[in-house]
Amino acid sequence: MLWNRKKTISDDLKGWIFDSFDWADTTFGTEWIKSRQLVTATKTFFSAGAGDSPEVAQQIADDIACLLPIQPIDVAPMPVIDPEYRQSYQDLSTVAGLYHHDDEAPLVNYDVALMRQPVGFINTMTHELMHARLANHIDGMPGGEPMHELSTDLHCITHGFGLFAIEGPAQVGWSGYMTQESRAYALAEFLARHGIDDSEAISRLNPRGQKALTRAIKEHASD
Per-residue model confidence as pLDDT tens digits over 110-132 = 989 889 999 999 999 999 999 99
Closest CA to 148 of 139, 136, 157: 139
d(CA 223, CA 220): 5
pLDDT of 85 reads 43
Confidence of residue 88 (pLDDT cuts 50, 70, 90): very low
Across the chain, what does the average pLDDT equal? 89
Angle between helices 11-35 and 148-158 (to 10 degrees): 50
Confidence of residue 174 (pLDDT cuts 50, 70, 90): low
pLDDT of 9 reads 95
Least confident among 42-51, 68-77, 96-105, 149-158: 96-105
pLDDT of 175 reads 63
The edge-to-edge listing of strands for the beta sheet with 97-100 is 74-77, 107-110, 97-100
Confidence of residue 1 (pLDDT cuts 50, 70, 90): very low
pLDDT of 140 reads 96
Determine if the pTM surpasses 0.85: yes
Pairing relationship of beta strands 107-110 and 74-77 according to DSSP bridges: parallel
The torsion of the CA quartet 85, 88, 90, 96, rounded to 10 degrees, works out to: 70
